[in-house]
A = this chain, B = another copy of it.
Amino acid sequence: MKRFIGDIGEHALIKRLTSSFVQKSKQIRCGVGDDGAIIASHKGDPFVMTTDMLLEKRHFRPCWTTWREIGKKSIEVNLSDLAAMGAWPRYALLSLGLPLKTSLRDVEDFYRGASDALRPYRATVIGGDTNASPGGWVISVTMIGDFPKSRKKAPLRNRAKAFDRLYVSGHLGESALGLYCLEKNIKGSFCRPFIKRHLCPKARVLLGRALTPHIHAMIDLSDGLVADLGHILQESRKGAWVWREALPFSLRFIKGTRRLRQNKWTLGLSGGEDYELLFTASRNKDKDIKRIAKAHRISLTPIGEVRPEGGLKILNGQGRAIRLQCGGFSHF
């Protein structure tokens, strides 16, 4: 029987494919399977690499947004991966496949957006490739970040410990609600903040760096809470309880879901592209985390705990495990 990639899902595919590569090297501190790869350069500081591909019609639609926003977002999604490694953005490689009839102005706007996203970190584009594309736009960004050599432990996905507390930054679900508004062509000023969250995400780079010394495992929420927490649990071989009632929702999001008759839990648990940070930390780190939340003016909400085993359980207000209606975003 012929098997298609759609049948097995992205993570199984990657596991299957990369198992054939020799990966044992002292210098690869972390290879395939985390937000980024960590390379210990000989004598020098280690650096982190991350890459993301965005395809027209699959990841963005030019009719929904401006090219400047697309340029910005294609950098931000990579910054978010670096944030989840606690790394500082340094360099970017920007490869584009462009339809021949692309106007110069659109490409310039795209670069302007990319530049906007890199500027706060004084990160810079050091290379790339441009090609004519027979289909739509193709954007492939690779970013390099670094962190001080003294920092022995990056917050990898496999470092969650049993009885760690689970935290999430900011608010959940708004991006998914924004996508819903775009797809259903719902207009109205109340939709705008959600649409903006979807089209113009902002990576939590400073927060990620501040958290890193105090936490165990971290991931950025791109595929949805359940899917991304799943990656941590799988890599750390742990289970978790998530207290559904503790999930951080903004008031406007709750109102929005009511108005659009959407289930806030589904969006919060399974909606993608929040680009918030999900992390685990010892209980005794609560004070440090509160301090960081205050300093960064962002909420860092405890939403559950890591368990020695038993998979992922979502508990309702009465402490009963509830069934999930759907998982996260799959790339296939």
Binding site for B on A (CB under 8 A): 2-8, 10, 13-14, 16-18, 20-23, 25, 28, 31-32, 36-37, 39, 41-45, 47, 49-53, 55-59, 91, 93, 95-98, 100-105, 107-108, 111-112, 115, 118-119, 122, 124-136, 138, 140, 142, 144, 146, 331-332
Contacts and interface: CB of A to CB of B under 8 A. Distances in A.
A49 B332 contact: no
Given A4-B101, A44-B44, 14 more contacts: A4-B104, A6-B132, A7-B104, A14-B130, A28-B124, A32-B125, A43-B45, A49-B144, A51-B95, A53-B96, A97-B138, A134-B136, A140-B140, A142-B142
Contacts of A98: 5, 332
Given A44-B41, A122-B22, A131-B58, A16 B108 contact: yes
The 3 closest A-B pairs by CB, nearest first: A44-B44, A135-B135, A140-B140
A7 to B, nearest CB: 8
* Copies of the chain in the assembly: 2
17 contacts: A3-B104, A5-B98, A6-B100, A7-B104, A13-B107, A18-B125, A23-B125, A32-B125, A36-B127, A37-B127, A39-B91, A41-B41, A43-B44, A43-B45, A51-B128, A134-B136, A138-B138
A162 to B, nearest CB: 28
Contacts of A108: 16-17
Nearest to A56: B134
Contacts of A10: 130
A106 to B, nearest CB: 9
Contact of A112 (B20, B53, B135): B20
Contact of A126 (B28, B57, B118): B28
Contacts of A14: 128, 130
Among A17, A18, A101, A134, max chain B CB count under 10 A is at A17
Among A55, A103, A127, max chain B CB count under 10 A is at A127
Contacts of A111: 17-18, 20
Contact of A49 (B4, B103, B126, B140): B126
A53 to B, nearest CB: 5
A145 to B, nearest CB: 12
Contacts of A112: 20
